[in-house]
Structure 1
Amino acid sequence: MSLSTALALLLMAASPTAAAEPAFPMNFDLSNGSTERQTPYRTGSHGMESHGTDSDFLFSVAVPDGTYRVTVRLGASDAAGDTTVKAEARRLMLRNVETRKGQFIERQFLVDKRSPVLTAPPANAPGGTRVRIDANDAKEFTWDDKLTLEFLGQPQVSSVRIEPVTAPTIFLAGDSTVTDQYAEPAASWGQMLPAMLDNSIAVANHAKSGATLKSFITELRFDKLLASIKPGDWVFIQFGHNDQKQQWPQTYVDAATTYPAYLHLYIAEVQRRGAHAALVTSPERRNFDERGKIKDTLGSYAAAMRKLAAEEHVPLIDLNADSRAIYEALGPDVAPSAFNDNGNDKTHHDNYGAWLLANAIAEQIRARIPALAPHVIAPAFVPSRPSSAAAVAIVPSARHSSQRPAGS
C-alpha cells in the first residue's frame, strides 16, 4: 500500500467529516498474492467483495460522490491474462484486454459514483434528503458509499489508481432497457455505452427499472441527476415502455398530450442548468408478424418524441427505428439470443442485445451530436448488419439471478 493510500484510509477512519474527503490519488496493489487481494471490504475503507469466483474478483474503495479516473495496470510477470473490467453495477469499461506473460498494459476510464444522499432543502421547503431507492436498488453496487470494480475472464491485475476528476458527462434518464441491470443474464444499452466512448468522458446511468417520466421525478431521481450536472454536460432521456401503460393510472401519460409535455419539462430543467438534452426513442419489443417484421407497440410515443425533438431543436437518437432493423436482421429464430431469460423476455436484453443497441446509440451519437462525436471509439455500426453473438462474447459477471428485471 502506498503512503498516500495509507493516509487516505487514516483520514477516512478518523471522523464522519474526514471520511468525506480522503486523500488522493489512491494506489492499490492488486497483483496475485498481494495483501489487498486477501483483505475483505471494510466499511469506510477498501477491500475485496464476497462475490466472485476462483479467478474473477470485485474490489471496492469508499469514496465520496463524484467522477473518478481509474487507471489499471493489467498483466503479470508469471502468467498471461485476458481481462474484462466492469464498474459499479456491471458497467462495461474494458473488454478482453489480452496480456502476454511478462507484459503490462495501462488503461484508464472514468466512473461515476453516487449515493442516494441529496442536499437537504431549506426549512419548510418541499423535497427530500435521499433518493427513494427500493430493495432491488440496494442490491446494486451503485447507490452506496463505495466505488466497485469487477475483474473478469482471466484477469491479471497489477495495480489500480483512483483519483477524482472533473470531466464532461453523459447522464442517462430512463427505464429498465437503459438502467444498470444488477445481475446476469439481463443487461441494458446504458451499461455497455461506457465501452463505446473514450476515457475523457463519463457515463452516469440514473435510469431505473420500471421508471416512468412521472416516477423518475417523484422518487427524486431527477433531483439527484439535476444536482449533479454541470454546464456542458449531456442528458439522454428515454421513456415510453412504462409510460404507455394505462393499467398504471398514476404514471400513465398520453402520447399526444402529457408525454411531450413531460419531455418538454425535462428538457427545460436540463437546459436551465446550462447542460444539453438529447431524446432517445424507446427500443421496440420483440414481436414478429408472419412476414418477419416487428410489430408496432411504441410507435405513437416514438413519433411524438421525434416531433418534439424537431420542435425543440434537440438531438434525436432514434433507437426505436434501429432496434427494429437489428431484430429484423437477426430474424425470428436468432433474435431471442439477444434477449434476457433465454429469449423468453421480449423487452429486456442480455449482454449481446445490449451491446448491439449500445453500438446503435454510439453510431447515432457520431452522426447526430457533433460535440460528442470525437468521444466515440466504437467501430462503425450498421443496424441492418449486426454482429453475431459469437463475435461479441462479453464475459458474464459473477452476479447471476433467475429473476427478470422489474418493469418493462
Structure 2
Amino acid sequence: MNKFDRFLIVFSLIAFQGYAQYRDDLQNGKSWKFDTGSKNVGPGYTGVSTTDVYSDGRGYGFDFSSQPKSVFRKGKNPLKSDFVTSDKPFYFSVRVPEGNYKVTLTLGDTKSPAKATVKAESRRLMLEHLETKAGGHIRKSFIVNVKDRKIAANREVHLKPRELTKLDWDDKLTLEFDANTALNAIEIEKTDSQITVYLAGNSTVVNQEEEPWASWGQMIPRFFRPGVAIANHAESGLSLGSFIGSRRLEKVLSVIKPGDYVFVEFGHNDEKEKGPNDGPYKSYTERLKIFSREVRAAKANLVILTPTARRSFDASGKMVNSHGEYPDAARKVASEEGVPLIDLTALTTRMYEALGPEGSKSAFVIYPERNLNDNTHFNPYGAYQIAKIVAQEIKGQNLKLAEFLVDMPAFDSASPDHVASFKWPPSPHVSIVKPDGN
C-alpha cells in the first residue's frame, strides 16, 4: 500500500467519524459541536474541513459556494491550533428543527490579530467588530431563532413567492462570517429557556436578505445577550390584515409561551387599504386589539410601535407626517389596552430632523448612481440607528427584556451616530429591486 492510499484511508476514517458524531448529535436533537480546520479535532467535536460542503445528506457544511481556507498553527489545544478563514464572506449551515439555539463561537489566531462580524440566517446581525490579538482567542455566544411555516398537521403560513428561497424559512441554521474571520469552532445547542420576542411588521421590520436594504428588526439581535431570542415574522408589503390573513399571527400563537413578547409595527401599508371598514380607527384599531386579546390570552406581552416615519421634509426643513392618523390610533390602542408603546413615528422624525434634509439621506436606500431613491426603506446605517432607538426604549421603559441588553451608552434619537463612524461589512447578495410596500 502506497502513501497516497494510506492517506485516503485515514482521511475517509476521519470524515466518517466526524459524520458519525454529527449523526449522534442530530439524533439527540440538542447540540452540535464542530471543530473547523484540517488537523486535530477536539474531543466530542465533529471535524469540519474546507471541503465539507453542505448537502442534505451530510446535514452540515460550508454553504453557498463558500471557499474558506484552512490554517494550521502549532499547539496542543486542538480547537485553537487550526482555523478556517477567507478573504470573502463565507457561510456555514447546519440542518436543525424549529426552535431557539445558543450558538457559541471560538475565534482567534495564535499568530495574528483577527476581526469578526457574524450574521445569521437572512442577514441578522449577531456580533460585530470583534477583535482578537495575536495569540488571543475568545468565545462568544448569541441566540438564533429558526422557524418554519408549519402550524399544525394541515395548516401552514402562506408565504409570498420571494420568501420561498429566504434563509429565514428553510430548514437550516446558517451563519455568515465576515472576510478574514478566524473561526476555530462552532457549538450549537437547542435552548428552551429564552424569552422569545416575536416581531410582527412590514418591510421596515423584516430581515432584508439583500444589500443595500435593511430593517431595524434584523439589527436588534445584536443588542441582546443570551436570554432573549428574536423571532422575526415580519414581511415586506404586509398590513395588519394581511399579516393575520396569511396565518402569521396564528403561527406566532402556535409557538409562543407565557412571558414571551410580541412587538407589532404596522401602518405603512394599512394606509392604502380603502374598504368601507378600513381606516385608522376602524380595521387598524380592531386588528391591533385582536393582537392584544390573543397575546394576553397566551399570557405573553404585547408592545405596540407606531410606524417609522417616511423621509419627507417641507420647505422649512421640518418633517411632514405621511402617516395621517395611524400613529395616533396606535397610541390610543396602547393606552386603552394598557400595553407599552414605542413611538417610532415621533422618534424617527426626531432623528431625521437632527440629520437634516440632506444628511437624512444617509439612512435610506438613496443612491442616485444606482437609480435608487427610496424614502421609506433603510440602509444598514439607518436600520442600525433605529434598532438603537428600540433598544433604548426597552431600557427606558424598564421592560423585563432590558436586563438582557448588552452594555451600551444611552442613545438619543436627536443625536444619532455619525454615518462615517458606522462600519458595515456588506453581505454578498445584492439587489436593486425595492421591497414590497412603501
CA–CA distance in structure 1, aligned partners of residues 51 and 317 of structure 2: 53
Match of 1:109 among 132, 142, 145: 142
Q: Does 1:24 align with 2:24?
A: no
What's 1:278 paired with?
Answer: 303
Deviation at 1:401, TM superposition (A): 1.3
Match of 1:172 among 194, 199, 203: 199
TM-score by length of 1: 0.91
Of stretches 284-293 and 365-374 in structure 1, the one that deviates more from structure 2 is: 365-374
The one-letter code of the counterpart of 1:72 is: L
Deviation at 1:371, TM superposition (A): 1.3
**Shift in CA distance, 367/77, structure 1 to aligned 2, threshold 3 Å:** same
**Shift in CA distance, 291/138, structure 1 to aligned 2, threshold 3 Å:** same
Structure (1 or 2) with the larger CA radius of gyration = 2
CA–CA distance in structure 1, aligned partners of residues 15 and 261 of structure 2: 36
Report the 3-state secondary structure (helix = DSSP H, G, I; strand = E; otherwise coil) of the residue aligned with 2:377.
coil
What's 2:188 paired with?
Answer: 162
Of stretches 45-54 and 191-200 in structure 1, the one that deviates more from structure 2 is: 45-54
Deviation at 1:146, TM superposition (A): 0.6
Deviation at 1:188, TM superposition (A): 0.2
Q: Does 1:94 align with 2:100?
A: no
Give the number of the structure with larger relative contact order, counting CA–CA contacts within 8 Å between residues 6 or more apart: 1
**Shift in CA distance, 36/229, structure 1 to aligned 2, threshold 3 Å:** farther
What's 1:138 paired with?
Answer: 164
What's 1:334 paired with?
Answer: 359
Q: Does 1:196 align with 2:223?
A: yes
Equivalent residues in 2 for 1:11-90, closer than 5 Å = 21-31=27-37, 35-43=48-56, 45-50=59-64, 54-90=87-123
Cα contact 2:107–2:183 (8 A) shared by 1: yes
Report the 3-state secondary structure (helix = DSSP H, G, I; strand = E; otherwise coil) of the residue aligned with 2:150.
coil
Deviation at 1:153, TM superposition (A): 3.9
RMSD: 2.2
Q: Does 1:228 align with 2:244?
A: no
What's 1:349 paired with?
Answer: 378
What's 2:236 paired with?
Answer: 209
Match of 1:394 among 416, 419, 424: 424
What's 2:437 paired with?
Answer: 407
Report the 3-state secondary structure (helix = DSSP H, G, I; strand = E; otherwise coil) of the residue aligned with 1:340.
strand
Q: Which runs of 5+ in 1 are unaligned?
A: 13-18, 121-127
CA–CA distance in structure 1, aligned partners of residues 187 and 260 of structure 2: 25
Q: Which runs of 5+ in 2 are unaligned?
A: 1-13, 40-46, 67-85
CA–CA distance in structure 2, aligned partners of residues 260 and 88 of structure 1: 33
Q: Does 1:241 align with 2:268?
A: yes
Give the number of aligned pairs: 392
Cα contact 1:4–1:24 (8 A) shared by 2: no
Report the 3-state secondary structure (helix = DSSP H, G, I; strand = E; otherwise coil) of the residue aligned with 2:327.
helix
CA–CA distance in structure 2, aligned partners of residues 69 and 302 of structure 1: 36
Q: Does 1:118 align with 2:151?
A: yes
Report the 3-state secondary structure (helix = DSSP H, G, I; strand = E; otherwise coil) of the residue aligned with 2:375.
coil
What's 1:383 paired with?
Answer: 413
**Deviation digits for residues 21-66 of structure 1 (CA, Å, limit 9, x no counterpart):** 5543211123478743322111150111125574310100000000
CA–CA distance in structure 2, aligned partners of residues 47 and 288 of structure 1: 49
Structure with greater strand share of residues: 2
Report the 3-state secondary structure (helix = DSSP H, G, I; strand = E; otherwise coil) of the residue aligned with 1:345.
strand
Q: After TM superposition, which residue ranges in structure 1, 4 or more long, deviate above 6 angstroms?
A: 1-5
CA–CA distance in structure 2, aligned partners of residues 48 and 314 of structure 1: 44
CA–CA distance in structure 2, aligned partners of residues 363 and 65 of structure 1: 30
Deviation at 1:79, TM superposition (A): 3.0
TM-score by length of 2: 0.85
CA–CA distance in structure 2, aligned partners of residues 11 and 133 of structure 1: 33
Deviation at 1:7, TM superposition (A): 4.3
**Shift in CA distance, 29/292, structure 1 to aligned 2, threshold 3 Å:** same
The one-letter code of the counterpart of 1:336 is: K
Report the 3-state secondary structure (helix = DSSP H, G, I; strand = E; otherwise coil) of the residue aligned with 1:110.
strand
